Amino acid sequence: MNRAATTLFDGEGEHERTALVRLAAEEEKQRKDDEEKLAAYYAQRDELILRRRELKIHGEVRAYEAELLRQRIEAERAANAEISKAELKQRVREIRVMRQLAKLERARPQLETAPPPPPKPRAQKPQPARPKSPQTVGPVILAKPEDAPVVISAPPSASPSQ
């Protein structure tokens, strides 16, 4: 071979060598990029798996707390029902009393405006003389408000059957 051809061949070999070195460097760079992408993918996957576990556990905790709350409410329901019944009875009594008071208030003006009927004269009978014995005095009404009801009870000597 001649020298010119050899130098030309050497020049091509040099060019091919640099191309090979460049290709090897590009492949190495590509491999490093791929490894970094793969590591990022695994890190992201692990983060997503961890987040999914957290959400699952959070959901289970919320369901457990909801069940505890439901059980507590169920346990208190009987006590609340008893209180509600007692309150309802109290309200019914209050309403009944208020209605009776209103009825008395409505009847009171009618009584005040209507004049009382004149008393019927009684035939006076002479009363036989009684021996002196201790007298039982009936109830004495002391100062009472005008709207206070008057309660009349039987004298203490009366038997309950009369």
What gap in Å lies between CA 154 and CA 160, rounded to an integer? 9
- Listed as ranges, residues in the chain with pLDDT below 50 are 4-5, 7-8
Q: Write out pLDDT tens, residues 148-157.
A: 766 666 666 6
What gap in Å lies between CA 103 and CA 92, rounded to an integer? 16
pTM: 0.35
pLDDT at 79: 75
What gap in Å lies between CA 61 and CA 53, rounded to an integer? 12
Q: Write out pLDDT tens, residues 47-78.
A: 999 999 999 999 999 999 999 999 998 888 87
